[in-house]
């Protein structure tokens, strides 16, 4: 208005106004940009659905305004993108993933599609033949449950296919790995080797059988050749490509190593950071080496921050590493085990919290969840303020412990597709009587916890539409079981959406930066081929992302 007035005055005043306007400008560009003619759908802070037809974006890539049909469009625009009525949604946020593992999984031998051990053997043999220059065959994605094998695979199974060099393959959940005899030999693992604390060498009689659970994986991993930095860069670009293709514009990286972090910085420095990364360091030492006395600032226009620390209270259910209050139903002598003593986990949580790093603790079994809840209870008196303690997975919780999630501002960071993938296995591990607090999303909300959703990619695909559909149906892609598994723990379609957007941002202290297309937030959004609020569950799962935009820039287009 000032400028309009001045323009009718003298050249001198006009010039002064010109200078004034320039001084007020945040960047070189002067006008906003408009993504127009959209069927825009978002949730506001109260979880209410907002519809709009235009999205006005500042030169910095922030949301200026959501425009309704009748709102006047600015005459002067830096650029305008006409979407011809397509559906526009806020970018999705995965509250729990493993960025570099996603990229490496895509570049290495991938067994996640195999339905039987024989299929896997065929794939391994083919990969070995196709990659004669690789000194180790490395990969992952296997799952003996999917194969219906009724046992872990063995080194002998692998030796039958590759004998000339080591093979080392991670289980789909990353909590176990499978090696051939050459790998065991390279690592010096023999019948005399002892399982380390927090891990288990699977045995066949006295001999190691070839599978290493949780901390025991390190016995072999220490001799596996580490990827070069340029391979990390390539894997990271691959991971970003995959995430953007699923409409993920921001993600928590749950356990960034120092080398992962250096790869993210290289991408940031080169202007090649396309997905926003909320990094949780793999352990306190890495967090402190990177952040010094606390979280890093938001870097690269809110594209990267190391804000917290990932810790592990136990392992996973599939490999019976999850720590249970009572023994596994299908392995009566075993209850899993805590990764750390009470003292150690409190000590690590304290060390992180002291420097204001956010603490995210992996807890799958009911015993592990109870222990972490106890530890948080012990922490809150000392570490006050807005801490957002996170429990990752919170899969099997004693119903008696569920209300405790509502205390202390705890964030339950859960993965809907784990429920649909794991339900048969979970029933085998625990029996039906101990599943009342399993994957208990609705109970979490009812108890006042913040529910943030993710996929735990690459364990599951980072597909938010699969997670979203699972969350309000408790059914798999096959529609099973009819009526949903323990359907009382469904959440509403809008609650699930929020858990994949605004709440996932909140879980990473990012709600002021992105997550819901609020005014002033980064303009992160996707153009998709259908309205997710009107689609049937199976239609929702079939949603295709056509464009992905981060910070007002189109960073991915379906080809």
Tell me which residues touch a copy of itself (CB under 8 A): 3, 7-8, 11-12, 14-15, 17-19, 21-26, 28-31, 76, 228-230, 232-233, 258-259, 262-263, 265-266, 269-270, 288-293, 296-297, 299
Name residue, tokens 């099997």: 396
For residue 394, the Cα-to-chain-centroid distance in whole angstroms is 14
What is the distance of C-alpha 403 from the center of its chain? 25
CB of 230 to a copy of itself, least distance (A): 5
Please report how close the Cβ of residue 241 comes to a copy of itself at its closest, in angstroms.
Answer: 18
Complex with a copy of itself: residue 290 or 477, whichever CB lies closer: 290
CB 430 within 8 A of CB 438: yes
Compute the least distance from the CB of residue 42 to a copy of itself, in Å. 31
Element (H, E) at 50: strand 49-57
CB of 306 to a copy of itself, least distance (A): 10
CB 358 within 8 A of CB 388: yes
Closest distance to a copy of itself from the beta carbon of 334 (Å) = 39
Least distance to a copy of itself, CB of residue 26, Å:
7
Report how far residue 110's alpha carbon sits from residue 451's, in angstroms, rounded to the nearest whole number. 31
Return the bridge partners of 24, or none: none
Contact 213, 315 (CB under 8 A): yes
Of 165 and 265, the one with the shorter C-beta distance to a copy of itself is 265
In this complex, which beta carbon is closest to a copy of itself, that of residue 17 or of residue 428?
A: 17
Q: Which is nearer to a copy of itself, 135 or 289 (CB)?
A: 289
Q: Minimum CB separation from a copy of itself for residue 257, in Å?
A: 11
> In 356-418, where do the E strands start and end?
358-363, 390-393, 411-414
**Among residues 70 and 293, whose Cβ is nearest to a copy of itself?**
293
Cβ-contact 59, 42 below 8 angstroms = no
HSE of 179 in the Cβ direction (CA atoms, 13 Å)? 28
Question: How is the chain split among helix, strand and coil, in percent rounded to 5?
Answer: 35, 25, 40
Please identify, using beta-carbon distances, which residue of 62 and 171 lies nearer to a copy of itself.
62
- Please, which residue, 68 or 228, has the CB nearer to a copy of itself? 228
Q: Which of 495, 431, 262, 274 is nearest to 504 (CA)?
A: 495
């Amino acid at each position: 208005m000032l400028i309009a007035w001045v323009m009718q005055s003298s050249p001198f005043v006009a010039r002064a106004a010109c200078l004034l306007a320039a001084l007020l400008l945040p960047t070189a560009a002067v006008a906003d940009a408009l993504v127009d003619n959209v069927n825009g759908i978002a949730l506001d802070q109260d979880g209410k659905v907002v519809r709009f037809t235009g999205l006005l974006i500042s030169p910095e890539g922030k949301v200026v305004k959501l425009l309704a049909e009748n709102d006047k469009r600015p005459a002067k625009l830096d650029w305008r993108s006409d979407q011809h009525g397509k559906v526009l949604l806020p970018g999705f946020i995965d509250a729990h993933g493993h960025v570099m593992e996603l990229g490496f999984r895509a570049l290495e031998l991938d067994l996640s599609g195999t339905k039987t051990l024989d299929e896997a053997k065929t794939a391994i043999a083919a990969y070995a033949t196709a990659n004669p220059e690789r000194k180790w065959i490395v990969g992952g994605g296997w799952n003996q449950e999917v194969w219906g094998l009724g046992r872990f695979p063995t080194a002998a199974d692998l030796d039958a296919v590759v004998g000339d060099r080591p093979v080392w393959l991670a289980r789909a959940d990353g909590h176990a790995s499978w090696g051939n005899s050459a790998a065991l030999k390279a690592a010096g693992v023999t019948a005399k080797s002892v399982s380390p604390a927090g891990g288990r060498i699977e045995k066949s009689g006295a001999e190691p059988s070839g599978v290493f659970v949780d901390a025991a994986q390190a016995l072999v991993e220490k001799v596996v050749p580490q990827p070069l930095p340029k391979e990390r860069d390539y894997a990271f670009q691959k991971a970003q490509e995959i995430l953007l293709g699923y409409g993920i514009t921001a993600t928590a990286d749950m356990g960034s190593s120092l080398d992962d972090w250096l790869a993210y910085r290289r991408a940031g420095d080169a202007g090649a950071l396309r997905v926003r990364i909320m990094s949780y360091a793999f352990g306190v030492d890495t967090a402190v080496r990177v952040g010094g006395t606390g979280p890093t600032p938001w870097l690269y226009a809110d594209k990267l921050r190391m804000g917290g620390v990932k810790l592990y209270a136990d392992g996973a259910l599939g490999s019976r590493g999850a720590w249970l209050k009572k023994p596994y139903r299908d392995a009566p002598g075993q209850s899993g085990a805590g990764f750390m003593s009470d003292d150690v986990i409190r000590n690590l949580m304290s060390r992180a919290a002291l420097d204001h790093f956010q603490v995210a603790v992996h807890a799958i079994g009911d015993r592990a969840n109870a222990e972490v809840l106890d530890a948080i209870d012990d922490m809150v008196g000392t570490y006050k303020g807005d801490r957002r303690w996170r429990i990752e997975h919170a899969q099997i919780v004693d119903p008696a412990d569920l209300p405790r999630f509502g205390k202390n501002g705890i964030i339950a960071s859960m993965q809907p597709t784990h429920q649909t993938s794991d339900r048969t296995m979970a029933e085998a591990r625990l029996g039906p009587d101990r599943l009342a607090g399993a994957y208990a999303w609705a109970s979490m909300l009812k108890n006042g916890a913040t529910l943030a959703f993710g996929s735990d990619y690459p364990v599951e695909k980072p597909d938010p539409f699969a997670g979203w559909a699972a969350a309000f149906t408790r059914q798999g892609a096959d529609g099973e079981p009819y009526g949903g598994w323990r359907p009382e723990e469904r959440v509403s379609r809008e609650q699930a959406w929020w858990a994949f957007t605004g709440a996932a941002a909140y879980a990473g202290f990012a709600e002021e930066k992105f997550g819901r297309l609020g005014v002033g937030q980064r303009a992160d959004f996707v153009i998709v081929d259908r309205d997710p609020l009107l689609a049937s569950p199976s239609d929702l799962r079939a949603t295709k992302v056509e464009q992905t935009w981060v910070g007002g820039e189109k960073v991915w287009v379906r080809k």
